[in-house]
Structure 1
Amino acid sequence: MWPPQPLTIDRRKLLFSFSSFVAAAITLAIAFAASLPRPWWALLTVYVTAQPMAGAFRPKVIYRLTGIGVGAITALAVVPNLQNSPALLVLVMAAWTGLCIALAVLDRSPRAFLFQMAAFSSAVISFPYLDDPASIIDTTIARVEEMAVAILCVTAAHALFQPWRAIDPIRERARTFLADAAAWCADAIAMGSIAAEPAHRRKLAADVTEIGMIALHLPFDDPAAPTTRAAIRALQHELTEILPLASAAANRLALLDVGGGCGSPLMALREGMAEWLGHARAGDEAWIAQGEALARLAGQSPEPGAHPWTNLLRESAAMRMGAMVTALLRAHRLTAALGERTPDLSDYRTDRFPLARDHGIAAMAGLATAAAIMLYCAVWVLLAWPAGSATAAFAALITCSFAAQDDPAPVIGRYLMATLRSFPLAALYLFVILPRVDGWFMLVLTLAPALIRMGYIQADPARSAQALPMFSCFIVAMGFLARFQGDFAVFINTGLAQIGGIVTTLAVTRLFRSVEAQWSLRRVLSANWSEMARLADIRRPFRAGDWNARATDRMGQIAARMALSSSAGPVDAADALADLRIGRNVLPIRGALPHVPHAARHRLGEVLAMLVELFRQRGMTGQELRPANALCSAIDAALAALLTLSPEGHRQSALAALVGMRCNLFPDAAPPHLEAAP
């Protein structure tokens, strides 16, 4: 039998928990000294705010405080004026909360905290006092003071014990991405296969988006923020190049392996790149010099084969491998240059990196939140439950916290179980330990074991979802006041209100929000296909960089939803990375149109017109329809037309794009009948 593993403590997690505990102790001291009516609310806000995996504190304190202010103003404006019309009051507050949640889901940046806090604060201020609007002003002031004190304390404590600079996690995330991408590329090149792609692509695409999210914090802690943000945008653009280039190379190599046409020089290049990608000291000078040599070698014309199509596949594979190596090297240089005052960005793209936003999903989240809140209040009024206002407040808290998820029900179910497990601990403290405690110091000392343990769990990404319900149950159930009150009836009533709010939220979520991952997956895919149709339409202008950024972002969303999909559906076979490669191939074809003769331009136009129709139909039906054989014939005709032209830049780019498009859309088609290039 193996000996038991020793107890290990992660210092970073412990430091985070200790920082939160110090913030909680200071918050309680201020709340007691200022005689705030609900110190427990301030204490809970400390732990709701302290989210270690969500980024910086300094910018978020601005968003959160602004959101609290907006929510408080809304409550003061609505509740007194509609106190004689309870139904209309509930309708207006539900609509306001739904609008804020829709904006939070749509924003997809740290600014979403502003909308989330506006929704949450207005709900918790107004709902408990719908039947007593006369005290709304005093209540609003007290809630704002409690939440503001907590947010400021937790920000100060974490800034003191955990000084955080945005550039550090960006650099760490970029290095992690490059290490994972190198391993992924090595497998793709060596085996000519991307079978393990979904799990990798979800993580890699999410990393590219997360780097941009963290970069939004730079103006708050970096004196060279404009230059650094330009470098980060350049880094994002380079990172988005790596995945499609590596998968395109693997696609061509797989086709060559099937036909036995890879050839010795290309096989040697593959082996050299696979060894280079697996090097343990990636990023040092020798590694960079070796990568530059491999990129130059890939740029040379490969050994000609017996068939023109084989030659085109070899050229395409070598070109994509060389471009992939170049993108990796450029990304490594940018990562090393992050934080420099004057990095040289003259050879990089530094334009914006827009994200894909789905207005439909955001509207659905807002409508579902509004409908859920109206149902909560209807149940509360019909049952005439004295604790119903607390139920509505807890329900609003949970609804706002998980509104951005496609199906919040499983998370809310785990929230309920964690709450139930925390009640015995709360009862132990309230009826056994706290009656023997006197004074702030002894109270803080007594709470330390429980709060530090829960804070440690909160710092663990694998268990952080358990922390919020544990804090909520433990803190709210004890109801810290300026004077101890161990009332068993109040304890039970408060516990039932919490459980009732969670159960009601879970039931409403099952009715309004529990959509299969297939539904949201179809929406994202349809949006991607519709945008690809617009990209291929020569009558429409296009910004290649914007589309590439949104397509990469959607790729991460699609992979995440495919991982959550438990049932087979018509979109399971969809390949977002193949769509990204096809879209990237559209761009050089459109760019070559003004530079080729009329006959070749006509052939390329036919290909683009058929692509427009294909992706428009996919976008309308939400299914990955098979392309018509006529499109394959049009691609072959365009290839033949370009092969008759003299080699030059635009012709070569369009030729490589057509090869890639044929490989992605018709991987099983027989080789085309082509004449050798002049």
Structure 2
Amino acid sequence: MSAITRAASLPRSLFLFDPQKLLFSLSSFIAAAITLGIAFEASLPRPWWALLTVYVTAQPMAGAFRPKILYRLGGILTGATVSILVVPNLQHAPELLVLCMAGWTGLCIYLAVLDRTPRAFLFQMAAFSSAVISFPYLDDPADVFTTTISRVEEMTVAIVSVSLVHGLLQPWSVTPVIHHRALAFLADAARWTRDALGQRHTRLEYEHRRKLAADIAELGMMAIHLPFDQRPASAGRKRVLDLQKQLATILPLASATANRLDMLSAGAPLEPALAQLIDDTRAWLAKPPQEQQALGHELAIRCRTLAVQRSAPPSWRDLLIASLCMRMAEFVEAHVEGCRLVQQMGSTPAQRDAKRARKTREKSFPLARDHGLAMLAGLATATAIILYCAVWILLAWPNGSATAAFAALITCSFATQDDPAPVLGRYLGATLLTFPLAAFYLFAVLPRVDGYMMLVVTLAPALLSIGYIQASPSLSARALPMFSCLIVALGFLDRFLADFATFINVGLAQVGGIIATLAVAKLFRSVNVRWTVRRMVRNNWIEIGQMAAPARPFRAAQWTGKAIDRLGQIAARMAVAEGDDVLHAADGLADLRIGRNVIAIRRALSTVPAPTQAALRDVLDGISALFQLRGRKGVLLPAPVSLQAGIDRAMAAMCTDKRLDPTHPALLALVGMRCNLFPAAPSPRMTRDV
């Protein structure tokens, strides 16, 4: 292959700049220039804090700025208020002061990790601002009020500037991203279901289910930003939440359909009518979304018609066919509705959609929150800060306060990760690589700079380059330490200072803060991914057990949303787990199907005769006991034989009752439970003497 041919085969991204990334970097640079100019003009004491805040708060998606600007400003004011109240009153008890500040920071991180919405930025900024305001003045708190006002002014100028500039110049919008994600999900769901109905269910389910669940969870997080998008959002929040609910329904329905097909295929060959229906469904899934909408209603009617054409009383195979057809009909209807909602994004005027959203007062998609993980993050943060301050005080290091401030900044930035140590290692590497650039600017370039405009021009190559790196998702984690090292080392003040000893001390403070944070992360935060996943799986089991208890109230929509969200969180973590991990035996979709079956039975309790109602309650009690035990033990315990017998008795009671239809939701739910919990068990006898 010639050199010209090899060059032509290389990715275009190696030769061409991405316009969106370049515009993001340019927007951040303009905001930084405005911030620096205001800081110099207003004689703010630490303009470099304002400049660093610009790049800390910059985000590649403009719609994400508007909810965050208010929360960040509120967090800054909250952290400043705490600093003013605590530091002067405890200045004579430094040990107690450190404990109070560490406890406050840990509490803020706990709330930030627990929240998982843009509101988390309020708590994160409160922790960060109180740390950077308080720690440099713990040994001399006399000027804490003046210092606090200055830090608030610097960070406020930066946040307002970066938000306004990105809002005006950056063309990103949340709506197109949501539309793209929804289209991709529908295409993936159709492809997966089509392949699963082709009797390759198990392997395909394992490969794709986590991605689908993660897409649903991500869609809900994007919907939070819609009311703050810079353009009138045609995909209103209510419509996106409706779409998310439809997509959350598609996942378990498609999985249940493929599961029933597996059970049927393991026995006798499929009946010609059923085989033809499955082939037609697979062909329908291969069609474009517009054709799926046009033909979906007729296909769903065919599925329901075949489901009711069973013998009376039905056999076990009849029940499997009825369950397969009903779940397939529900899947087709949910898929058609999802296609309709995606297609209508952009067709309804924003004003009308906003009015409808205000009238309905639609709430956000339920999120699964783990207090244990949040407490671990908060405790680790507080412990880290105590250790930083202890080393600083014991060594009497003059720059130790800066180390504590940097360490607090880094700890707060990576508090949401299970194991921040690998990221912190890359953070340290990026910092060390940037020191030569900082030294070149400080000792070779800046001494020749005269005036604000020349300063901005000379900074442009470095800031624009690092800003372009920040816009790339795969490299953005390296951009923040590069900005931090460069900006802090240059130490922008009202007059130029180039002192080598100060440069070395500041650099050592930054490196020391990163190393201290890395050491604490290795000791307290190196949580194995499997441990986190086990906690989530156990929480899911416990909630299913609680929901199955007949005496407890339950909210079906709340549980389904939390289960989907938890499945998405597991997906992101299991993507980096080893393929042979025992947790792969914990089938998240099987648990999701069982939970939905529990909901169907509980809803149907009041619609069945008393004897059947008693049998259903026995099944619910058995499910509750099994999943509560799984949650306590943390092990995928097999379902007991007594539960299988109870399910068979309940099915027999419903099948022999002429007042109940063979496609009754509770009966289909029992079929689903038996398929999921006892897939290898022999066929049940559809009589009351089971």
Partner of 2:76: 68
The CA deviation at 1:635 is: 1.3
Amino acid at match of 1:294: L
Q: Say whether residues 1:294 and 2:299 are aligned partners.
A: yes
Partner of 2:559: 547
The whole-number CA distance in structure 2 between the counterparts of 1:388 and 1:195 is 55
Q: Say whether residues 1:389 and 2:394 are aligned partners.
A: no
Q: Is the 8 A contact 2:61 2:174 kept in 1?
A: no
The CA deviation at 1:566 is: 4.5
Match for 2:550 among 524, 534, 538?
538
Partner of 1:617: 629
Indicate the larger mover: 451-460 or 149-158: 451-460
Partner of 1:138: 146
Q: Is the 8 A contact 1:201 1:556 kept in 2?
A: no
Question: Structure 1 residues 511 and 68 mapped into 2: Cα distance closer, same or farther (>3 Å)?
Answer: same
Instruction: Report the secondary structure of 1:497's partner residue.
Output: helix
The CA deviation at 1:41 is: 1.4
Question: Structure 1 residues 35 and 101 mapped into 2: Cα distance closer, same or farther (>3 Å)?
Answer: same
The CA deviation at 1:582 is: 0.2
The whole-number CA distance in structure 1 between the counterparts of 2:326 and 2:362 is 24
Match for 2:588 among 551, 568, 576?
576
Partner of 2:507: 495
Match for 1:208 among 204, 213, 216?
216
Q: Is the 8 A contact 2:62 2:170 kept in 1?
A: no
Question: Structure 1 residues 278 and 416 mapped into 2: Cα distance closer, same or farther (>3 Å)?
Answer: farther
Partner of 1:559: 571
Matches within 5 A, 1:240-279: 240-279=248-287
Q: Say whether residues 1:148 and 2:156 are aligned partners.
A: yes
Partner of 2:182: 174
Q: Is the 8 A contact 2:28 2:55 kept in 1?
A: yes
Partner of 1:318: 325
Question: Structure 1 residues 532 and 334 mapped into 2: Cα distance closer, same or farther (>3 Å)?
Answer: same
Question: Structure 1 residues 476 and 201 mapped into 2: Cα distance closer, same or farther (>3 Å)?
Answer: farther
Question: Structure 1 residues 649 and 450 mapped into 2: Cα distance closer, same or farther (>3 Å)?
Answer: farther
Matches within 5 A, 1:223-372: 228-279=236-287, 281-282=288-289, 284=290, 286-301=291-306, 308-338=315-345, 340-341=348-349, 342=352, 353-372=365-384
TM-superposition CA deviations, 1:45-93 (whole Å, max 9, x none): 1111012259521121100011001111111111111111110110000
Amino acid at match of 1:274: R
Q: Is the 8 A contact 2:32 2:51 kept in 1?
A: yes
Q: Is the 8 A contact 2:246 2:334 kept in 1?
A: yes
Partner of 2:125: 117
The whole-number CA distance in structure 2 between the counterparts of 1:577 and 1:563 is 16
The whole-number CA distance in structure 2 between the counterparts of 1:476 and 1:188 is 55
Match for 2:387 among 346, 357, 375?
375
Matches within 5 A, 1:11-90: 11-52=19-60, 56-90=64-98
Q: Say whether residues 1:3 and 2:6 are aligned partners.
A: yes
Q: Is the 8 A contact 1:408 1:513 kept in 2?
A: yes
The whole-number CA distance in structure 1 between the counterparts of 2:16 and 2:277 is 45
Partner of 2:521: 509
Q: Is the 8 A contact 1:516 1:565 kept in 2?
A: no
Q: Is the 8 A contact 1:642 1:651 kept in 2?
A: no
Q: Say whether residues 1:98 and 2:106 are aligned partners.
A: yes
Instruction: Report the secondary structure of 1:485's partner residue.
Output: coil
The CA deviation at 1:243 is: 0.6
The whole-number CA distance in structure 2 between the counterparts of 1:578 and 1:224 is 40
Residue ranges of structure 1 left out of the alignment (5+ in a row): none
Question: Structure 1 residues 179 and 349 mapped into 2: Cα distance closer, same or farther (>3 Å)?
Answer: farther
Q: Say whether residues 1:627 and 2:626 are aligned partners.
A: no
Indicate the larger mover: 568-577 or 539-548: 568-577
The CA deviation at 1:225 is: 8.7
Q: Is the 8 A contact 1:56 1:164 kept in 2?
A: no
Q: What RMSD in Å do the two structures reach over aligned CA positions?
A: 2.5
Percent of residue pairs bearing the same amino acid type: 58
Indicate the larger mover: 547-556 or 446-455: 446-455
Residue ranges of structure 2 left out of the alignment (5+ in a row): none
Partner of 1:661: 673
TM-superposition CA deviations, 1:337-358 (whole Å, max 9, x none): 346254699xx99565321111
TM-superposition CA deviations, 1:200-252 (whole Å, max 9, x none): 33333233233332333344459999993332332221111011011111111
The whole-number CA distance in structure 2 between the counterparts of 1:69 and 1:163 is 30
The whole-number CA distance in structure 2 between the counterparts of 1:371 and 1:54 is 35
Q: Is the 8 A contact 2:50 2:155 kept in 1?
A: yes
Q: Is the 8 A contact 1:532 1:612 kept in 2?
A: yes
Q: Is the 8 A contact 2:62 2:229 kept in 1?
A: no
The CA deviation at 1:195 is: 1.9
Amino acid at match of 1:56: A
The CA deviation at 1:415 is: 1.1
Indicate the larger mover: 42-51 or 297-306: 297-306
Question: Structure 1 residues 591 and 88 mapped into 2: Cα distance closer, same or farther (>3 Å)?
Answer: same
How many residues are matched?
Answer: 671
The whole-number CA distance in structure 1 between the counterparts of 2:128 and 2:409 is 6
Q: Say whether residues 1:591 and 2:603 are aligned partners.
A: yes
Q: Is the 8 A contact 1:592 1:651 kept in 2?
A: no
Q: Is the 8 A contact 1:184 1:200 kept in 2?
A: yes
The normalised TM-score by structure 2 is 0.92
The whole-number CA distance in structure 1 between the counterparts of 2:103 and 2:315 is 64
Amino acid at match of 2:327: R
Q: Say whether residues 1:193 and 2:205 are aligned partners.
A: no
Indicate the larger mover: 510-519 or 2-11: 2-11
The whole-number CA distance in structure 2 between the counterparts of 1:455 and 1:189 is 47
The CA deviation at 1:675 is: 5.9
